[in-house]
Structure 1
Amino acid sequence: MIGTLNALVDQVEAAGGEESDLADFARSHGTTEYHLRRMFSALAGMPLSEYIRRRRMTLAGAELAAGAANLIDVAVRHGYGSVEAFGRAFRAVHGIAPAEARRDGGPLRTQAMLRFRLSVEGRSPMDVTITTAPELVLVGHAVEVPLIHEGVNPHIQQHIAGIPAEEHARLKALSAAEPGGILAVTGDTPPDAPEGTMLTYLHGVSIPADADVPTDLDVMRVDAGAWAVFTASGPFPETLQNLWASTATEWFPSNPWRLRPGPSIVRYLEFTGTSASCELWLAVEPT
């Protein structure tokens, strides 16, 4: 996977900051566009689309600082049909207008070309189980919340706090399939979604596929397939967020599995509010 990501970066450079047929690129490297985008985002700390935009504007800024005479030519060369659209994108990255960059030479914000490397230090051993599950039927109370990469998501906290204690007890009683117990389910988001993207969060349980679903509960159905189950314990939420990052930096590059479309599921084995012992369930398929 590390070699594939570096090949993708090379292709972006060869195309002058343009995104080519990523699905075809993924197939030619024995993976999927979904997994490739998820791994890029996790390892680079930004979506592929954002990296491409920054690289495109870096190249455009260099042209303007070098005295490019015609703004429309620069805009078209970098995929924009108008000077206005190009100007908005340019200002979003550099904080100044293209004309200022051409006149003053900057200041410009440079996005360096990425290069991925695999760390094999093995500092964080992970307990992982591969399990195959039938179709999952997840029921509970869902809400749309913005994606937040670090720290506690206050929108999720507020949602959980608004569920009465008796409703928590009712959900626990409904739990009758693996993964058992109360679950924190993050719906399948776009694979390279930036922070702030709205996603579905479901606080609920797993029930048998043939069970009757209470009409007052939200439902999320997940196709049958393999799951990688990662276990970790420690301070909350840092341990869970670090575990998620470690799957991308350590486990997936070293194992013959890749992500398939599906939600991420957190099962709390023990939770005190400041620390947690939990399982992270990720939908996977063989490479």
Structure 2
Amino acid sequence: MDILNRLAESIDYIEKHLDQPLKHEEIAQIAYCSKFHYQRMFYMLTGVTLADYIRKRRLTVAAQELAASHIKVVDAAFKYGYNTPESFSKAFSRLHGISPSQAREKGRTLRAFPRLSFHIQIKGVEDMNYKIVEKEPFQVIGKALEVTVKDDQNKKDIPAFWNELNHNGFTDSLKPDIGPLGFLGVCMDFNDQADTFNYVIGVEKTTADTPAGCVGKSIPAATWAVFEAIGPVNPAVQATWERIFSEWFPATGYELANAPQFEAYPEDGDIMAQDHITEIWIPVVKQK
């Protein structure tokens, strides 16, 4: 439950500072998370990005203030984080369907994006089977791509990266070196300042040599929670990630550790098969 309490505290902080500059790093610190992990967890739990939530909450509160007071539109724009009245008016109109000036008119309908609250959702439909694995340090060999989480660009770039390496023969070239985990898709080297991370497609290194054209990445020793996503990779993997953050973490005594995360795919698996199994490896620590 600690994770839910900390998320609730971060929402309290956002609500108290809607009319002030909000830095994602400071919000994440309240939840004892890195910026990257907080933003990812926030999206998994809510279905909206942190930036979008803040924007919609500011526009909701701004509309209420315009309707109930004599604040000028230009003052409301600056108060809620917009550089110009024009940019404020455009964003306001997209959410509410009317201009800020029209919000003053009696009888106008305004849209309210509600404040979030967090709780455990007991579904009782499917068990979440997992295992805890202690694994020594290992290396991954493959190709790396720096991707950004801004505007969910990583969700476009990573599938395109897989397609590229599958079609140009690179993944086939790794098969002689493939380890027991199969093919790996690793998220690592998180850069909170730039909102980027490295995504590595490769295999666990099992020989002394690194094949030509490959980079080597070190994965530290860690405790891992390992989950099975059963079914076609899309949507089974994404659905399992969502359940991990929305159901498993809040209900257990574990927290996300600051280490790489990865998905493991069988060497010859059919990613579209109903019985295909993708393993999701998440580094964890026991709550203090």
**Aligned CA distance change for structure 1 residues 262 and 163 (closer, same or farther; 3 Å):** farther
Q: Distance in 2 between matches of 1:99 and 1:236?
A: 48
**TM-score relative to the length of structure 1:** 0.77
- Partner of 1:243, secondary structure, is helix
Contact 1:127–1:232, Cα closer than 8 Å, also in 2: no
Given candidates 66, 70, 73, the residue that maps to 1:71 is 73
Given candidates 30, 39, 45, the residue that maps to 1:25 is 30
Given candidates 145, 158, 164, the residue that maps to 1:159 is 164
Find the counterpart in structure 2 of residue 206 from structure 1: 204
Contact 1:175–1:207, Cα closer than 8 Å, also in 2: yes
Any gaps of 5 or more consecutive residues in structure 1? none
Find the counterpart in structure 1 of residue 155 from structure 2: 148
- Partner of 1:5, secondary structure, is helix
**Aligned CA distance change for structure 1 residues 103 and 119 (closer, same or farther; 3 Å):** closer
Find the counterpart in structure 1 of residue 284 from structure 2: 284
**Aligned CA distance change for structure 1 residues 101 and 159 (closer, same or farther; 3 Å):** farther
Find the counterpart in structure 2 of residue 58 from structure 1: 60
Deviation at 1:200, TM superposition (A): 4.4
Any gaps of 5 or more consecutive residues in structure 2? 148-152
Alignment: residue pair count: 272
Does residue 251 of structure 2 align to residue 254 of structure 1?
yes
**Which amino acid in 2 is paired with 1:173?**
P
**TM-score relative to the length of structure 2:** 0.76
- Partner of 1:261, secondary structure, is coil
- Partner of 2:155, secondary structure, is coil
Given candidates 138, 141, 144, the residue that maps to 2:140 is 138
C-alpha RMSD of the superposition? 3.5
Given candidates 151, 154, 178, the residue that maps to 1:175 is 178
Q: Distance in 1 between matches of 2:99 and 2:212?
A: 54
Deviation at 1:253, TM superposition (A): 0.8
**Aligned CA distance change for structure 1 residues 211 and 71 (closer, same or farther; 3 Å):** farther
- Partner of 2:247, secondary structure, is helix
- Partner of 2:236, secondary structure, is helix
Contact 2:19–2:79, Cα closer than 8 Å, also in 1: no
Q: Distance in 1 between matches of 2:8 and 2:77?
A: 27
Contact 1:65–1:106, Cα closer than 8 Å, also in 2: no
Q: Distance in 1 between matches of 2:189 and 2:59?
A: 30
**Aligned CA distance change for structure 1 residues 253 and 188 (closer, same or farther; 3 Å):** farther
**Aligned CA distance change for structure 1 residues 33 and 141 (closer, same or farther; 3 Å):** closer
Identical-residue share of aligned pairs (%): 31
